[in-house]
Amino acid sequence: MAILERILTDLGFTCRRMPFEGVENLYARRGTASPNLCFAGHTDVVPTGSAEAWTAAPFEAEVRDGVLYGRGAVDMKGGIAAWIAAVARIGEVPGSLSFLITGDEEGPALHGTKRVVQTLMAEGEVVDACVVGEPSSSQALGDMIKIGRRGSLNTWITVHGKQGHVAYPDRAANPAPVIARLLARLTEHRLDDGYPEFPPSNLEITTIDIGNPATNVIPAEAKARLNIRFNPTHTGDALIAWLNVMAGEAQAESGLRIELEHLCSGDAFLTPSGPFVTGVQDAVEAATGRRPEASTTGGTSDARFIRALCPVLELGLVGQTMHQIDERVPVAEIEALTGVYRRVIQTYFERTAGRPAGLTSPAVQGSAGR
């Protein structure tokens, strides 16, 4: 964060460190005019795993045969470096450029982008569009952008019965058939038939636990957990309400108490086709010769928070080695991504402000007097 603050200050940005509960965040902006095009990223990384299994030290950023090795090379310090390099080469834009960089994306994501977005919205900061530098490319640079994500809901189910001897079932209440019936009904229910740009929503039972070692004992309780990946047909709250109704019915039928706990880690969202998405696709195609597929696949990202602020999409490096041992990226690919980002910025301002970016002389790194 200190390095970013120094470089961005040199490039004429006004930097604000925004720490929340010990999480480092940075919002930087150059210019006051609209439109404001934002780049979002994160500096935190997932753990290295066994450091001995790496062929390079995970935090030395070793370049070997033109390939940069290190945790975060792909996800996503490479992306941050590429956007900064693009900004440094492009000079002034007819509007504003900003950075939203967080230190808590791979972790609980409570005090990172979410808090910065809340704060900026409360202050009335206007952001018109945002590119998240996640490694969105699948096989080749620029072959895919992410324009939305499915939502994710986890639910823990506990059915409370009464323990007893299997030979005297009238003195016990078995929770096993109750949870089995409930789970069968939940999985048989068709949530939807899909949504434009999204596959059908999907409910998966992820575990069923009774853990009864005895052959002659009716268990006291039965537990299960499920995960729903859902498209914008649903909200997390609506799915929670449906699950509660289904459990309530099973409870009324069986007379056994059923407890549910839910955790929704993000609602589904989609940045619909429009000038922003099309402009980015055109720019990527112009820079790489490849028109990126607009996809909604994959896990969640901080885009789920930024969408409250403005249209958002993800565009970045090829994600093949992210989160792996020997995470790495060819230096040439970071350079190519810089060219892609530069084109994205130029196209955005050409089409929204009516004037191309970068007509003034390029910013000189470290120059004073801005």
Q: Which is nearer to Zn ion, 174 or 271 (CB)?
A: 271
Print the binding letters for residues 42-61 with Zn ion: x by CB under 5 A, - otherwise.
Answer: --------------------
Single out the residue of 68, 76, 178, 317 in contact with Zn ion (rule: CB under 5 A).
76
Q: Which is nearer to Zn ion, 75 or 327 (CB)?
A: 75
Of the candidates 10, 44, 282, 350, the residue annotated as catalytic is 44
Q: Which is nearer to Zn ion, 44 or 285 (CB)?
A: 44
Shortest Å, Cβ 13 to Zn ion: 22
Cα distance between residue 79 and residue 18, in whole Å = 21
Q: Which is nearer to Zn ion, 145 or 159 (CB)?
A: 145
Contact between 314 and 303 under an 8 Å Cβ cutoff? The reply is yes
Task: State phi, psi for 231 to the nearest 5 degrees.
Answer: -90, 180
**Active-site annotation holds for 44:** yes
- Footprint of Zn ion on 134-153 (CB under 5 A): 134
Which segment (1-9, 57-65, 72-80, 157-165) binds Zn ion by CB under 5 A?
A: 72-80
**Active-site annotation holds for 105:** yes
Query: How far does the chain reach from its first CA to its final CA, in angstroms?
Result: 21
Of the candidates 24, 92, 104, 105, the residue annotated as catalytic is 105
Shortest Å, Cβ 11 to Zn ion: 23
Task: State phi, psi for 25 to the nearest 5 degrees.
Answer: -135, 160
Per rule CB under 5 A, is residue 75 in the interface with Zn ion?
yes
Burial class (CB in 10 A: 0-12, 13-18, 19+), 366: exposed
Per rule CB under 5 A, is residue 85 in the interface with Zn ion?
no
**Angle CA(306)–CA(136)–CA(36) in degrees, nearest 5?**
40
Query: What is the residue whose two structure tokens read 């004429």?
Result: 12
Interface with Zn ion: number of residues (CB under 5 A):
3
Using Cβ positions, the residue closest to Zn ion within the complex turns out to be 75
**Nearby residues of 296 by Cβ (< 8 Å), 6 or more positions away:** 146, 147, 148, 149, 150, 197, 198, 231, 270
Per rule CB under 5 A, is residue 327 in the interface with Zn ion?
no
Burial class (CB in 10 A: 0-12, 13-18, 19+), 260: middle
**β partners of residue 259:** 158
Q: Which is nearer to Zn ion, 43 or 155 (CB)?
A: 43
> Which residues have a catalytic role annotated?
44, 105
Binding site for Zn ion (CB under 5 A): 75-76, 134
